[in-house]
Amino acid sequence: MQRKYISLLVVAAALVLLDQGAKFWVLDRLTTAFDGATSKMAVFFGTAPEPGYDGYHFRPKDQIVFSDDFFRLRYAENPGAAFGLFTGVNPQFRGPLFFLVTLGAIALVVHTARKLKGEKNERWARVGLPLVLGGALGNFVDRLARSFVIDFLEAHWFDKAYWPAFNVADTAIVVGVILLLIDSFVRPEPEAPVEKKA
């Protein structure tokens, strides 16, 4: 296997582990999900209980405030895509839709990685691709396990304006897409081969 594919898979896998580890910690520290559980892993990867009066499947119990006015860690659930997109879609169709989107993202990442030749001017793409892949897979694991994504990073402005809650995988996807956009602007297009005159 070529080195570029190995590095793509290793970084993406490490990101999935980081993302899932952070979400496990969130359930353990910020919710009652594991209270009285005989196996935390069974709860984490198992079918979530029915939502309660607040719409959450797991009960929030705590939050960690880094800045009263700007940033905190607080448990949230997102049945939709990034930033709550497609939340209103029927759950019966939402699952297959996200499955297709994830397959599309994987196919696009692999197709783009195939075109890389290992040149120095491809550094933005070499970093961006595994971030997008790892982020997409991290959130997809959530959807497979419990049909919603665990979010916990909350940026806000004096509790008057809120950025939608997000997670490690969302962050990786956004940073990865930004790097790929930079790559598309700074990397020169390959020159077309010049036809020799007969």
- DSSP code per residue over 51-85: P-TTS-SS-B--EEEEETTTEEEEEEEESSSGGGT
- Residue 31 token pair: 């919710």
Beta-strand relationship, 63-67 and 71-78:
antiparallel
- Residue 131 token pair: 């971030």
Question: Which positions ≥6 away from 149 have C-beta within 8 Å?
Answer: 77, 78, 79, 139, 142, 143, 167, 169
Is residue 67 one of the residues assigned to a domain? yes
Is residue 112 one of the residues assigned to a domain? yes
Is residue 143 one of the residues assigned to a domain? yes
Is residue 80 one of the residues assigned to a domain? yes
Above 90 in pLDDT, residue 41?
A: yes
pLDDT in tens, 127-183: 999 999 999 999 999 989 988 999 999 998 887 888 889 999 999 999 999 999 999
Is residue 84 one of the residues assigned to a domain? yes
Domain count, the chain: 1
Is residue 198 one of the residues assigned to a domain? no
Active centre residues (catalytic) = 151, 170
Closest Cα to residue 78, out of 143, 133, 30, 18? Answer: 143
Give the pLDDT confidence score for residue 195 in this predicted structure: 65
Which residue range forms the structural domain that includes residue 166?
Answer: 3-34+49-186
- Residue 155 token pair: 């940026």
Above 80 in pLDDT, residue 70?
A: yes
